[in-house]
Structure 1
Amino acid sequence: MRKRAMNKKKALTTMAACGLVAALGVGGTMAYLTDSEQTTNTFTIGKVKIDVQEPGWDTTDKNNNNIPDKAEDVVPNQELAKNPLIENTGSNSAVVFLKVTVPTKYVTQVADDGTVSKDGRKSQEIFYFKDVADAQNQERNNFDANWQELVDEEVQDTGATASKDGVRTYVFGYKTKLLKGQKTSSLFDKIQMKNVIEDEILPDSANDIKVEGFAIQSEEILDKTGKDLTDELTTANLKTIYDIFIKQGTSYDAAHGTTTGHDYSGNEKDANTNNSKDVHGNNR
């Protein structure tokens, strides 16, 4: 019985070996047996789009000189409503930033009682940025707590002199992701001109306050270790994300010695005439 079983096992092995040999024998004369099919995955590419708005800014310009009437002939200590914010009008959530550029003047500040500052004439800003609840005599900057100031990204002051103005920039990142259709809180609600000696301000010099909004996708922004920086919008992560945006916004082509602008050119379109909404948030 044991012998017959062994013989049967041997026969099966031989047949398998013969079968393998036969398969190898026909392989050289016949094409491979093949089959194919496909599946198509359709994706839509997301779009990050924002509108910078200032609902409180009065754009009335009856004399058509491109300066709002309430912004003409501003006097020291005067306050004006100005409340920049960002609305996400794209299809994807975003991490958003605001950059505020203001002139600096070579002027002397004066206290409300007429006392001249001991610092004398120096390069300084001439506007405060305030909350709506701040009293007129509360003379200091008061930015909204939902925005994180990114001091390392700012230009503190290029230095004004008696013959030229300087520039100061602020950069803020919003502490939470901005979902489609959402608005940020306003970075500030009003501005106030400092009490300075007006005769020291250069005649016909620009007193523009420039506000720029930036946005980048709010997911899958990876650091060198592969960690998603948008998981936690800490000050450090916001700074890194802002750096990525700026680097992506302007690409340097070493081969041709040229710079190509992308999302950020440094000279952005007017929020009142660009994109889907005007400066007050109204649809065009």
Structure 2
Amino acid sequence: MDKKKLIAASAAGVMLIAVSAAVAYFTDSDTKTNVFTVGNVDLELREENFTGGQLARADIRLSKDPKVKNTGKNDEFVFLEVKVPKGEVTLLENGVPAGPKAPRELFGFYAGSSGTAVSGSDNFSYRAAVENDGWVFLSRTESSDSASYVFGYSSKISPGDETVCLFDEFALRSFIEEEVPGGSELTVPVNAYGIQADSISGVSGLPDDGSGLTVQNLKDIFDICLNKQN
């Protein structure tokens, strides 16, 4: 058995868009306790202020605050991945088309006035690292039906400690109603990953105290984490 210990957890909010009524109903399938554990590494993906069954309208922000708690016995490096559904829609700004119909992300994510926008994105802001406490944006990839954002935490997490939340709120974006069929169900999976912080190899320039991790540090660690999981 490989000595590197890792774990993954996931949470999915299942969203039902009632397009014909210009509203959306949001429910939570609450799989945050779906934790897979090897050895003494364990984590919990938490969304303390998210409430299922809320009535949502375009551009009305609702609470959603994913963060990771170390519930194991070893220090961990942790990561969050958010998968955002896409659709062929015409985005609206003040009720007026803001561009041509095209594949667009259907939800926006917001981290308040202190949030940092993902480079090149107008719909995703996050709580970026300040003094080694916060999230570091690692990558954005997309397919025909979704976009995936990956973030790594800027320092290792000790047992019993938790990260700050990645963002605070999310909202359905404003688009022409008929472009998404009424009753469509959309999922926004939030996946958490963790790997044992001590004795990790294959990462150059890793700080001895596990803090102040660079983008490259975190990308290298995340690659190791995914390889160990597969």
Match of 1:124 among 96, 104, 107: 104
- Following superposition of structure 1 onto structure 2, how do residues 21-60 of structure 1 map, counting pairs within 5 Å? 47-58=40-51
> Closer, same or farther in 2 for the Cα pair 1:230/1:220, shift >3 Å?
farther
Q: Deviations over 1:74-98 (max 9, x none)?
A: 3211111000000000001100000
- Following superposition of structure 1 onto structure 2, how do residues 127-146 of structure 1 map, counting pairs within 5 Å? 127-133=107-113, 140-145=123-128, 146=134
Q: CA deviation at 1:100?
A: 0.6
Mapped pair 1:147 → 2:168: no
Q: Is the 8 Å Cα contact of residues 53 and 87 (structure 1) preserved in structure 2? A: yes
- Number of residue pairs matched? 179
- Following superposition of structure 1 onto structure 2, how do residues 1-284 of structure 1 map, counting pairs within 5 Å? 47-58=40-51, 68-70=52-54, 72=55, 74-112=56-94, 114-117=95-98, 119-133=99-113, 140-145=123-128, 146-151=134-139, 154-155=140-141, 157-159=142-144, 166-223=145-202, 229=206, 231=208, 233-250=213-230
Distance 2:101 2:39 in 1: 52
Q: Secondary structure at the match of 1:236?
A: helix
Give me the TM-score of the superposition, normalised by structure 2: 0.72
Highest RCO, 1 vs 2 (Cα 8 Å, sep ≥ 6): 2
Q: CA deviation at 1:46?
A: 5.9
Q: CA deviation at 1:223?
A: 1.4
Bigger proportion of residues as strand: 2
Partner of 1:271: none
| Structure 2 residue runs without a partner (length 5+) | 1-37, 115-121, 129-133
Distance 1:106 1:228 in 2: 43
Runs of 4+ displaced beyond 6 Å = none
Distance 1:127 1:46 in 2: 37
Letter in 1 for 2:143: T
Q: Deviations over 1:226-280 (max 9, x none)?
A: x574636211011011001111101xxxxxxxxxxxxxxxxxxxxxxxxxxxxxx
Larger radius of gyration: 1
Distance 1:230 1:83 in 2: 29
Bigger proportion of residues as helix: 1
Q: CA deviation at 1:55?
A: 0.5
Q: Is the 8 Å Cα contact of residues 105 and 123 (structure 1) preserved in structure 2? A: yes
RMSD: 2.2
Q: Deviations over 1:140-174 (max 9, x none)?
A: 421011111111xx42x312xxxxxx011110000
Distance 1:133 1:81 in 2: 15
Give me the TM-score of the superposition, normalised by structure 1: 0.59
